[in-house]
């Protein structure tokens, strides 16, 4: 303990490989694995009253150079028993302003680019994932069983942050927000009935095979800014037999078409570089991503498969000695954005780098506001009128260019949103 204070860590990393915290620093005293809501109060009681750390589950600690890990507690099944986050302990105004740095530099998730995003928070309404994607480590932290807050709980939470705290935008961060689409639609309908006005998005993604046209219309009417969808691969064999996602690509195309019809902006996640995948299959993923953008406006993100500890991908990479260099925490933090750390008999990091370069050249051409905006404005006079209104408020060429990028990225939301004016883009 440092100066009578205990330093406690938790989260996905801690849940899967807690020992690494103690290997890298002497500053960590305790590591909590899995959910911590019931564990942290017990740690606080231990600090105040003493007792045995061995009696507290989900805990890894160090004493005299040796690590001790206690048994894992069951996952929390009755999520409604948990209180709302203690927002009163957070300086919210400073939190809202935190991603904005001096000189108009904007950091964070598409922040300040749409109505309401200046006052945004994250909210998680469910936990657990029943699927088995080879690269995902969520099972080690939140388990496989899908657990969720009730509609009443979520609506009460929304009511509190919107009416009492002035929140205007929600990032729904659930790993499986639409696994039970009727539940989430009930949340949106109840919120609208109560007059709760907010915008929202899904940064962690939804499954394309869980939503129909009626649901997407409901999303559009409830303030949805954009949806992220996890596609992962544009090759059906890779999806089914390597990743294990078992998602029909025909349903992905249909979903993208329906989203565009509902004027919901769409982002799509893709991943290349799995053991067992060929260069040709990677090319199919790149081509599918670009075609989805070209036909339906789905903004693609191309990531590189990274073997996170606790995943089937990690086990396969380590078993076959596919790592090209040590998988440090720093490497894990950036590997998805690079050529990666995996070499197999079918490909090397250089092969991945070439496919990524091909993707970004084509994507950059498709995303160019000089090419994209004229077509959008011709098909939507309302969007053009709104652009002119916002452009009249710009104070510099830099702001005007920023505004053009925003309109190229969110044409669906901006063309249907009744909320004017936009938050200033800078």
My answer on whether 251 and 380 are in the same domain is: no
pLDDT (tens digit, 9 = 90+) per residue, 254-269? 999 999 999 999 999 9
- The yes-or-no verdict on residue 370 having pLDDT over 70 is no
Of 196-200, 234-238, 395-399, 413-417, the one with minimum mean pLDDT is 413-417
Report residue 57's pLDDT band, with 50, 70 and 90 as the boundaries. Answer: very high
pLDDT (tens digit, 9 = 90+) per residue, 104-119? 444 444 444 566 677 8
My answer on whether 209 and 231 are in the same domain is: yes
Residue 115 confidence (pLDDT) = 60
Q: Residue 139 domain-assigned?
A: yes
**Cα distance between residue 234 and residue 109, in whole Å:** 25
Beta-carbon contacts of 73 under 8 Å, excluding residues fewer than 6 positions away, are 34, 35, 38, 39, 57, 58
Please check whether residue 84 is in contact with residue 164, taking contact to mean a CB–CB distance below 8 angstroms: no
My answer on whether 19 and 158 are in the same domain is: no
- The yes-or-no verdict on residue 308 having pLDDT over 80 is yes
Q: Residue 3 domain-assigned?
A: no
**pLDDT mean over 278-296:** 96
3 state SS for 258-272: HHHHCCCEEEEEEEE
pLDDT, greater one: 420 or 228: 228
Residue 100 confidence (pLDDT) = 56
Counting residues of the chain whose pLDDT is more than 70, the rounded percentage is 92
**Residue in 363, 361, 387 with CA at minimum distance from that of residue 374:** 387
Q: Which of 336, 354, 369 is the last residue of a domain?
A: 369
Report residue 214's pLDDT band, with 50, 70 and 90 as the boundaries. Answer: very high
Q: Which of 69, 87, 121 is the last residue of a domain?
A: 69
Burial class (CB in 10 A: 0-12, 13-18, 19+), 385: exposed
My answer on whether 54 and 87 are in the same domain is: no
Angle at 185 between CA 418 and CA 288, to 5 degrees: 80
Residue 322 belongs to a domain with what CATH number? 3.20.20.70
| DSSP strand pairing (199-206 vs 8-9) | unpaired
Q: Residue 2 domain-assigned?
A: no
What tokens does 14 get? 């801690």
pLDDT (tens digit, 9 = 90+) per residue, 218-235? 999 999 989 999 999 999
> Which structural domain range is residue 202 located in?
79-369
Q: Within 10 Å of residue 257's Cβ, how many Cβ atoms?
A: 15
pLDDT, greater one: 407 or 155: 155
**Residue in 354, 339, 344 with CA at minimum distance from that of residue 283:** 354
**Cα distance between residue 178 and residue 210, in whole Å:** 6
Q: Residue 85 domain-assigned?
A: yes
Please check whether residue 114 is in contact with residue 265, taking contact to mean a CB–CB distance below 8 angstroms: no
DSSP string, 154-207: HHHHHHIIIIIT---EEEE--TTTTSSHHHHHHHHHHHHHTT---EEEEEEEE-
Q: Residue 109 domain-assigned?
A: yes
Please check whether residue 396 is in contact with residue 424, taking contact to mean a CB–CB distance below 8 angstroms: no
**pLDDT mean over 13-36:** 89
**Cα distance between residue 150 and residue 190, in whole Å:** 12
Residue 24 confidence (pLDDT) = 83
My answer on whether 269 and 256 are in the same domain is: yes
Please check whether residue 15 is in contact with residue 33, taking contact to mean a CB–CB distance below 8 angstroms: yes
Strand partners for 323:
342
Q: Residue 62 domain-assigned?
A: yes
Q: Which of 69, 91, 112 is the last residue of a domain?
A: 69
My answer on whether 300 and 357 are in the same domain is: yes
φ, ψ at 110 (rounded to 5°): 50, 30
Q: Residue 33 domain-assigned?
A: yes
My answer on whether 248 and 363 are in the same domain is: yes
Using CA atoms in the order 243, 246, 251, 256, what is the torsion angle rounded to 10 degrees? -30
The structural domain count of the chain equals 3
My answer on whether 14 and 25 are in the same domain is: yes
My answer on whether 259 and 136 are in the same domain is: yes
Residue 385 confidence (pLDDT) = 87
Distances (CA, A) of 332 to 290, 301, 305, 308, 342: 26, 18, 10, 7, 12
**Cα distance between residue 107 and residue 125, in whole Å:** 25
**Cα distance between residue 77 and residue 56, in whole Å:** 19
Q: Residue 74 domain-assigned?
A: no
My answer on whether 357 and 425 are in the same domain is: no
**Residue in 167, 166, 168 with CA at minimum distance from that of residue 115:** 168
Burial class (CB in 10 A: 0-12, 13-18, 19+), 104: middle
My answer on whether 63 and 182 are in the same domain is: no
pLDDT (tens digit, 9 = 90+) per residue, 332-369? 889 999 999 999 999 999 999 999 999 999 988 877 76
**Cα distance between residue 282 and residue 271, in whole Å:** 9
My answer on whether 311 and 397 are in the same domain is: no
């Amino acid at each position: 303990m440092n100066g009578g204070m205990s330093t406690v860590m938790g989260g996905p990393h801690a849940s899967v490989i807690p020992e690494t915290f103690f290997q890298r620093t002497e500053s960590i005293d305790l590591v909590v694995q899995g959910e911590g809501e019931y564990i942290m109060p017990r740690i606080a009681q231990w600090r105040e009253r003493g007792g045995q750390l061995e009696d507290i589950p989900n805990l890894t600690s160090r004493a005299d150079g040796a690590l001790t890990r206690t048994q894992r507690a069951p996952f929390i099944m009755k999520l409604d028993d948990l209180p709302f986050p203690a927002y009163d302990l957070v300086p919210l105004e400073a939190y809202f302003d935190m991603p904005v740095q001096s000189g108009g530099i904007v950091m964070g998730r598409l922040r300040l680019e749409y109505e309401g995003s200046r006052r945004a928070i994250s909210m998680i309404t469910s936990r657990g994932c029943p699927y088995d994607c080879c690269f995902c480590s969520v099972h080690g932290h939140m388990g496989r069983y899908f657990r969720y807050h009730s509609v009443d709980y979520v609506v009460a939470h929304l009511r509190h942050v919107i009416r009492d705290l002035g929140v205007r935008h929600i990032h729904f961060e659930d790993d499986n927000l639409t696994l039970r689409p009727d539940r989430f639609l009930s949340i949106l309908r109840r919120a609208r009935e109560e007059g709760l006005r907010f915008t929202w998005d899904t940064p962690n993604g939804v499954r394309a095979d869980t939503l129909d046209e009626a649901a997407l219309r409901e999303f559009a009417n409830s303030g949805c800014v954009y949806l992220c969808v996890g596609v992962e691969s544009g090759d059906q064999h890779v999806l089914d037999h390597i990743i294990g996602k078992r998602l029909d690509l025909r349903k992905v195309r249909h979903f993208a078409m329906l989203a565009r019809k509902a004027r919901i902006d769409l982002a799509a996640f893709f991943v290349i570089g799995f053991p067992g995948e060929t260069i040709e299959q990677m090319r199919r993923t790149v081509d599918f991503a670009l075609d989805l953008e070209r036909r339906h406006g789905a903004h693609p993100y191309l990531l590189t498969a990274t073997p996170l500890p606790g995943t089937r991908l990690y086990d396969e990479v380590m078993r076959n000695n596919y790592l090209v260099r040590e998988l440090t925490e720093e490497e894990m933090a950036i590997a998805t954005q690079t050529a990666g750390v995996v070499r197999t008999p079918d490909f090397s990091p250089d092969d991945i780098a070439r496919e990524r370069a091909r993707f970004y050249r084509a994507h950059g051409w498709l995303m160019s506001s000089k090419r994209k905006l004229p077509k959008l404005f011709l098909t939507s006079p309302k969007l053009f009128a709104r652009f002119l209104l916002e452009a009249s408020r710009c104070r510099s060429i830099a702001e005007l260019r920023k505004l053009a990028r925003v309109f190229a990225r969110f044409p669906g939301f901006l063309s249907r949103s009744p909320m004017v004016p936009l938050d200033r883009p800078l």
